[in-house]
Structure 1
Amino acid sequence: MTIRFGLAGLRHPHLEYLLSEIDARPDDVQIVALAENDPALREQFGRRFAVPTYPDHREMLARERLDAAGVVSVNGARGQVVADCLVAGVDVVADKPLCTTLADLDLVEAAWRRSGRRLSLLLDKRFCGPTLAVRDRLATGDLGDLVLAWASGPHRLRRETRPSWMFRHESYGGILNDLCIHDVDLLLWFTGARSGTVQGLAGNRAHPDLPEFQDHGQVLLRTDAGLLATIEAHWFSPEAAPYHGDYRMVLTGTEGTAELRWAHGELHIATHRHPPEIVPLPAPGSVAADFFDAVLTGRQATMRTSEILTATRVALLAQTTANSGAWQAWDATSA
């Protein structure tokens, strides 16, 4: 089988995560069409792939026979595009965030349940070496029960390279939903938490000419299993640094601690029984590889859609109530 793959939106460099995986497996995946409402991008990628192009994803879905689609549209439009693809009977891998409103999340979830198609999200921290290694150690009980977590997601802004839609709330959606979603997802995945409360804080400290833009924020997360977590993100990663962001997470358990240093490819662990060590890492994977393998083999992807929907709901609750001071309850026990 060769997957007939369509591109629905070409608005973020994360698109290259999909394209690099497709380039590595030409016998498995073939790009057969693309849809983009920006004429310049549509022409540019149309020339690159020599495939039919459409100004509207709905026309592409109606006219092309697709097995799967990659959705990398403007954040604010993504939820509707994802839902349309699912309803059309197409498996979907989308850029994060999945959507920017709770109403769109409900739309996507309803489309997924009705269609029975696969839905994955580009949360590639899931498949990084430090992440895979610490999850294995958590499964063995080395750290005991998780009590506290802290995560930081600094990003380099490079404002001159950013499209204007990223600085408008309606089209971007906010920093907590866009950046903190990575670590929200990981903590729910590590713990298996299905319910809890969340609160968001966000602000604009250095960009007064962009009043709708949030350049820093925090998610405060409590799970009903007892974890307390602080997840922060910002657009102040040093421009002269050799990395886009020095992403880190510190986990405190009843039996030990772990620090994930993604930018450096390291996992540090210390427990009551063993002194500090730098843990050997397994080979990394990727969301795109996991998704394409699932489509080809007919299995469920490692990244389960129910987990994606829960993490997105938690991040959106934090974003939509940012700075309100109110804790928002979330519960996925019936999902």
Structure 2
Amino acid sequence: MFIRPGVAPIRLQRQHQAHPHQHGGQQCRPHRRAPSVLSHRLSLNPRAHRDKTIRTRNGYHRCPPDLNTRSAVKFAVIGLNHGHIYGQVEGLLTIPGAQFVGFAAVEDDLAAQFAARYPDVPRRTKSELLADPAIDLIASASINAERGPLGVETLRAGKHYFVDKPPLTRLEDVDAIEAALQASGKMMFVFYGERMSCQFDIKAKQLVQQGAIGEIVHVMGLGPHRLNAPSRPSWFYDPAQYGGTFNDIASHQVEWFVWITGQRIKSFSSRIGRFGSPAPAPASFEDFADATITGENGVTGYVRVDWFTPEKSPIWGDVRGLIVGTKGTIEIRRTINLAAKDDADRKGHMLMTTHELPPHRVDCSQVLIEWPTQIAQSLQQNRNLLLDHDTLLHVMRQTVRMQREATRVR
């Protein structure tokens, strides 16, 4: 078992456990080795965690005060196939008193790398972890196609589920997850890290809610990535296991559209294509995807993702968001400002222009990364404060539909 040193316990209300399930028989890229940085925007610093802080791109920020709850949250990990799992774990460990009690992985090499990072956490089997009544939550970054079925197993076993994006790959997975959520009374959380661990997005949401740019007219999300083709595991190039580029990368942007606008998706038109990824990427691999989206109130959106970040780029992807309002605009440069001549000024930032204020950078340095506390409070209050289940199911269903119904342009 592992407890982050110097972090006081947080007490979580125990919920009724469902009957244990009976078992038979980059940024965002799948890593084959533990990354030196734990995720795009969440990394480990021992001193920071002693002070109960999360390190973000703009520095260290103190977490909210301890919650007054009843019993320490215990979590385990099943599936290490994407490096985002390190960011998920480190975020959970900032919850005061959180106990990391075990992990399971079928790949010995990934397990060895993970164990080197967390030597006090025992390697156990998936069945053992799901059957352990003391475990409250399972975190996972398994192979994309395995995440939906694992979520169903986890929920049926009476445990909450915290999964990396994309949370699933098939429409039938959405239906199965919905049924398991209703039957178990447990919760599902998805790690949409591009906005959850980004101070700029959190600040932008606050400004939108305050009416700083008026009513939202249009949003645009861009998510280019570097492929690093030879470094990818074989499952990444198997459509049945990977689930498609739109479902994988653009899941960030689809969820962001719904989250930032507060609107469900009324209609969409999506496209996918292959324009020239190098070997060993097969002919079936999609290296480009985009979509136009219309919300229920008429707000429009555009998302584009690709695997064409140039090799000479200093960052894995120049990820951006644009929010156009009736009274102003917000531009989010999440990872880098390539236009800056001074390397020290190249970190991401947020720009805002309104009728009253000229273009200016918005100071986001004091914005807290809230998702670990939101998960802890969700468990305490028995309601999903990260993203309510109706909205989450809508996002997952629409994302999979955009992948499945996309027009192949090349």
Q: Normalising by structure 1, what TM-score? A: 0.88
Q: What is the RMSD of the two structures over their aligned residues, measured on CA atoms?
A: 2.2
Q: Using a 3 Å threshold, how does the CA distance of structure 1 residues 219 and 64 change in structure 2: closer, same or farther?
A: same
The 8 Å contact of residues 180 and 219 in structure 1, kept in 2 or not, is answered as no
Q: Using a 3 Å threshold, how does the CA distance of structure 1 residues 140 and 22 change in structure 2: closer, same or farther?
A: closer
Tell me by how many angstroms 1:152 deviates.
Answer: 0.6
The 8 Å contact of residues 189 and 386 in structure 2, kept in 1 or not, is answered as no
2-structure distance, mates of 1:138, 1:285 = 18
The 8 Å contact of residues 216 and 299 in structure 2, kept in 1 or not, is answered as yes
Bigger drift between 33-42 and 82-91 goes to: 33-42
Bigger drift between 34-43 and 163-172 goes to: 34-43
- What is the letter of the counterpart of residue 301 of structure 2? A
Partner of 1:280: 363
Partner of 1:220: 292
Q: Specify which of 205, 230, 240 is matched with residue 312 of structure 2.
A: 240
Q: Specify which of 182, 187, 207 is matched with residue 277 of structure 2.
A: 207
The 8 Å contact of residues 103 and 121 in structure 2, kept in 1 or not, is answered as no
Query: Which whole-Å deviations, capped at 9, do the CAs of 1:52-110 have from their partners, x for residues lacking one?
Result: 421xx344312563111102110001100011101111011101111001111111111
Tell me by how many angstroms 1:210 deviates.
Answer: 1.0
Tell me by how many angstroms 1:46 deviates.
Answer: 5.3
Q: Specify which of 142, 152, 158 is matched with residue 73 of structure 1.
A: 142
- What is the letter of the counterpart of residue 95 of structure 1? D
Is it true that 1:53 corresponds to 2:136 in the alignment? no
2-structure distance, mates of 1:273, 1:49 = 55
1-structure distance, mates of 2:185, 2:325 = 38
The 8 Å contact of residues 165 and 191 in structure 2, kept in 1 or not, is answered as yes
Partner of 2:394: 310
Tell me by how many angstroms 1:224 deviates.
Answer: 2.2
Partner of 2:331: 259
2-structure distance, mates of 1:283, 1:140 = 16
Partner of 2:375: 291
The 8 Å contact of residues 213 and 329 in structure 2, kept in 1 or not, is answered as yes
Q: Using a 3 Å threshold, how does the CA distance of structure 1 residues 130 and 52 change in structure 2: closer, same or farther?
A: closer
Tell me by how many angstroms 1:288 deviates.
Answer: 4.0
SS in 2 for 1:9: strand
Q: Specify which of 245, 260, 270 is matched with residue 353 of structure 2.
A: 270
Q: Using a 3 Å threshold, how does the CA distance of structure 1 residues 143 and 63 change in structure 2: closer, same or farther?
A: closer
User: Identity of paired residues, percent?
Assistant: 27
The 8 Å contact of residues 120 and 287 in structure 1, kept in 2 or not, is answered as no
The answer for unaligned runs of 5 or more in structure 2 is: 1-70, 336-346
- What is the letter of the counterpart of residue 310 of structure 1? H
Partner of 1:331: none
Equivalent residue runs for 1:25-40 within 5 Å: 28-40=97-109
Partner of 1:3: 73
The answer for unaligned runs of 5 or more in structure 1 is: 326-335
- What is the letter of the counterpart of residue 84 of structure 2? H
- What is the letter of the counterpart of residue 99 of structure 2? Q
- What is the letter of the counterpart of residue 390 of structure 2? S
Equivalent residue runs for 1:33-182 within 5 Å: 33-42=102-111, 44-45=113-114, 48-54=119-125, 57-63=126-132, 65-124=134-193, 125-182=195-252
Q: Normalising by structure 2, what TM-score? A: 0.73
2-structure distance, mates of 1:64, 1:35 = 16
1-structure distance, mates of 2:94, 2:208 = 32
2-structure distance, mates of 1:323, 1:245 = 25
SS in 1 for 2:250: helix
Q: Using a 3 Å threshold, how does the CA distance of structure 1 residues 50 and 135 change in structure 2: closer, same or farther?
A: closer
Tell me by how many angstroms 1:169 deviates.
Answer: 0.7
Q: Using a 3 Å threshold, how does the CA distance of structure 1 residues 232 and 312 change in structure 2: closer, same or farther?
A: same
Tell me by how many angstroms 1:22 deviates.
Answer: 4.4
- What is the letter of the counterpart of residue 247 of structure 2? N
Structure 1 segments (4+ residues) deviating >6 Å: none
Tell me by how many angstroms 1:293 deviates.
Answer: 4.6
